[in-house]
Amino acid sequence: MRLLDVSPSVPRMHSATKLPFVKGLNEEGLLYDDHINADLIIKRFKEEEVDAVFFPHCNFGTEDTVARVGKTIGKPVLLWGPRDEAPLADGMRLRDTQCGLFASGKVLRRFNVPVTYITNSRVADAVFERGFNNFISAANVVRQFKSLRILQIGPRPASFWTMICNEGELLERFGIEIHPITLVDIQLRSTKIASGSSAELSKAIDYIKEKLDYSEVTEEDIRRIAALKVAMKSYAIEPGSTAIAIQCWSSLQEAMGIMPCLANAILTDGQIPVTCETDIHGAITSVMVQAAAMNEFPTFFADITVRHPENENGELLFHCGNFPVSMSIENKPKLRKHFLCSLLFIVPKQGIQEVH
């Protein structure tokens, strides 16, 4: 995450934020004048491959240069200026920062540049830190949204009409690519991985045994779940996908004898969010939520299932549950058979697993 700032004074910020400056472009190390400095600043910003632009106003500002830079760079823009001091006794004003912010904001709108701002405040104020970090998070969402590719494993379940999406519109309007593979593809690769002894498979098996109580399942069960996780990850990495939408119900269980919930959970914990029922829109949203948290925390995907019978603010978020293991309040959540399997289809002898 790269943010171009023209001021050396910055708040506490996300660890992923890097701040190149305009120092060295002119004697002042500031953005001023119009044509010449705008061109130099634009060149610097493009070289630095910035993801957002922060324009702190030290005084009235140079709104034409701000607008030219903001328009050409085409990245999220943040305006802020320190709270002005009271005029001197003779009426002289030291600064007109707020007035400058109004001017820059209006000219940016004339140039059709989306812009947000932080209320006039001091660097040490909570509103400054909160506003700055919120902007960084929003800019990170924009950055990741514009380079989205979703791995689709299988079509949506036939009866799940709520999962319908328009792949052509996603590509044409937002540049979001869908990379489809079949359930046969994932089954074949999982089987091949399970029969081998790769380092990735061993790592996944060790993770399951370390994090979960697996006393109710067999070693073979664990191996198949780990192999599915490794296969899904490899299929995501190959085309550069940042999220996965999988048809988790019910062909995969009939073909492989396992629920993918735990494999989904492990991948989501590793910043590759996985959504159930081939929910493409859910996968897109998961990436956005994860980006808003600066990729420091995993997202989770759930059904809004049952309203609490008594608690007005209570809701059950569950049907199956592919929640990241790191979110569990239990030291070692239990790996066991799916509670609905016997009602919906014939369970293979090995059983069907999920994490609770």
Model pLDDT for residues 177-211, shown as the tens digit of each residue: 999 999 999 999 999 999 999 999 999 999 999 99
Higher-scoring residue by pLDDT: 151, 34? 151
The larger pLDDT score, comparing residue 341 to residue 329, is at 329
Same domain, 134 and 169: no
CATH number for 129:
3.40.50.1070
Residue 73 and residue 94 share a domain: yes
Q: What is the distance between the alpha carbons of residues 218 and 200, in angstroms, rounded to a whole number?
A: 20
User: Which two structure tokens, joined as six digits, stand for 285?
Assistant: 């949203």
Residues 214 and 278 in one domain: yes
What pTM was computed for the model? 0.86
Q: Which residues contact 196 (CB under 8 A, 6 or more apart)?
A: none
Which residue range is the domain that position 210 belongs to?
149-355
Averaged confidence pLDDT in the chain = 87
Question: Is 90 exceeded by the pLDDT of residue 7?
Answer: no
Which residues are paired to 275 by β-bridges? Answer: 245
For residue 33, which phi and psi values (nearest 5 degrees)? 65, 180
Q: Are residues 160 and 120 in the same domain?
A: no
Per the structure, the count of domains in the chain is 2
The reply to whether 237 and 198 lie within a common domain is: yes
The reply to whether 47 and 172 lie within a common domain is no
Number of residues that this document lists for the chain? 356
In this predicted structure, the answer to whether residue 345 has a pLDDT above a threshold of 70 is no
The reported pLDDT for the residue numbered 30 is 75
Least confident range of 54-68, 313-327, 342-356: 342-356
- Whether pLDDT at 251 is above 60: yes
Each residue's pLDDT tens digit, 93-141: 888 899 999 999 999 999 999 999 999 999 999 999 999 999 999 999 9
Structure tokens, 336: 């066991």
Closest Cα partner for 333 from 204, 219, 212, 209? 212
**Among residues 61, 59, 47, 48, which one has the least CA distance to residue 17?**
48
Domain match, 73 and 165 both: no
H/E run at residue 304? strand 304-307
What is the residue-wise DSSP string for 34-52?
SHHHHHHHHHHHHHHT-SE
At 290-324, the pLDDT tens digits run 999 999 999 988 888 899 999 999 999 886 768 89
Nearest one of 83, 38, 15 to 6, comparing CA atoms: 38
Whether the bond into 250 is cis, omega within 30 of 0:
yes
The candidate with the shortest Cα–Cα distance to 56, out of 75, 79, 74, 33, is 79
Residues 285, 86: Cα–Cα separation, whole Å? 46
Q: Which pLDDT belongs to residue 140?
A: 96
- Whether residue 337 sits in one domain with residue 259: yes
174 in the same domain as 119: no
Tokens 């592919």 identify what position?
322
> What pLDDT shows up at residue 10?
43
**Does the pLDDT at position 16 exceed 80?**
no
